[in-house]
Amino acid sequence: MIEIPSRLEGKQFSLHQLEQTLKPLGYEIGGGWEYDHGYFDYKIADHLGYQFLRVPFQAVDGQLDSHGTTVELGRPFLLAHKYQRGIDDFADVGNLTASFDQFAEPQDPDATVPEPLISVGKALVQELERRLLD
């Protein structure tokens, strides 16, 4: 994980407004959201896993599934997940679980971000700052 300091940190926005601005740029709300916090993810690459820019946010009022929720942005960071090749030796597959657990566990959920992608991540953060703050 590589943090990228940003002018976005601590800024508050309507969650709806953020979604309307960021989704057309390729961002999506990551699957790990809770009712009080979540992440906007931008997939940068998918070489032997995937590398992405993640922008965390925290609910300031209400819950994320409520209309009109305001969120505060945290420090963006780059994250890489490296997936193992072949079969997951620890997979527990039954009729019910097979429909949910279709993919292998990450070999390294906090893999090294390739050097060229760090500058890409910094440029993406600068673009977000321009879109949201200027």
How many other C-beta atoms lie within 10 A of the C-beta of residue 95? 6
Instruction: Please report, in angstroms and rounded to a whole number, the separation of the first and last CA atoms in the chain.
Output: 27
What pLDDT shows up at residue 78? Answer: 94
Task: State the pTM of this model.
Answer: 0.77
β-pairing verdict for 28-29 and 77-83: unpaired
Kindly report the length of the chain. Answer: 134
pLDDT in tens, 67-76: 889 999 999 9
CA-closest candidate to residue 3, choices 73, 37, 54? 54
Amino acid at 30: G
pLDDT in tens, 87-118: 545 555 555 545 444 444 544 456 677 787 89
- Residue predicted with more confidence, 103 or 14: 14
